[in-house]
Copies of this chain bind each other. A is one copy, B any other.
């Protein structure tokens, strides 16, 4: 039984996501992606007009699963908002301290596409980061933070910084240090609210 169109598209995106993440955007060829997906190049180009469109689809496919993962780390940590932020970074430190982890796919794609402003994948990546920031601000507000938006802005800089430094030094101590700073931001906001 032949795959239907949606299933074929999904197989291509899954193959692209794996190769783009493991090898890099430019290093992974459309040929290799078609081969990994088990489709012809013609079929691939039926679903995606260009490699650029496929790169954007890769990041879009990682948007919700990434948000879900962080939301789970936050929600499953017991305690206050401060505890939950610290827990999120502790889980991130564990998840990134493996050979398989090769950085934040969104940031690495932005790095590779730095010379092509307006690229659809840059827009997809920026939209994901904004959604993540909005989710975090909501989650902090829900936990009673007084200045959730400002805290979320600081925390996402710390989280992207932790991902970047982790890729450079492969030392989870930086991620945990970032988590302490992030937790103190929430704590400060809480202290300010209590005054």
Q: Name which of A1-9, A65-73, A77-85, A148-156 contacts chain B.
A: A148-156
| Known contacts A114-B24, A168-B126; A184 and B178 CB within 8 A of each other | no
- B residues less than 8 Å from A24 (CB atoms): 26, 111-112, 114-115
Q: Is there contact, CB below 8 Å, between A125 and B26?
A: no
Partner of A164, one of B99, B164, B181, B188: B164
Whether the pair A165, B157 counts as a contact (CB closer than 8 A) is: yes
B169 close to A157 (CB less than 8 A): no
Main SS class of interface, A: helix
CA distance A126 to B158 in the complex (A): 19
User: Which residues of chain B have C-beta atoms less than 8 A from A110's C-beta?
Assistant: 103, 164, 167-168
When distances are taken between beta carbons in the complex, the residues of chain B under 8 Å from A161 are 156-162, 164, 178
What string of 1s and 0s marks CB contacts (under 8 Å) between A107-122 and chain B?
A: 1101110110100001
Nearest opposing residue in chain B for A126, CB measure? B168
Residues of A within 8 A of B (CB): 22-24, 26-27, 99, 102-103, 106-108, 110-112, 114-115, 117, 122, 125-126, 129-130, 150, 153-154, 156-165, 167-169, 173-174, 177-178, 180-181, 184-185, 188
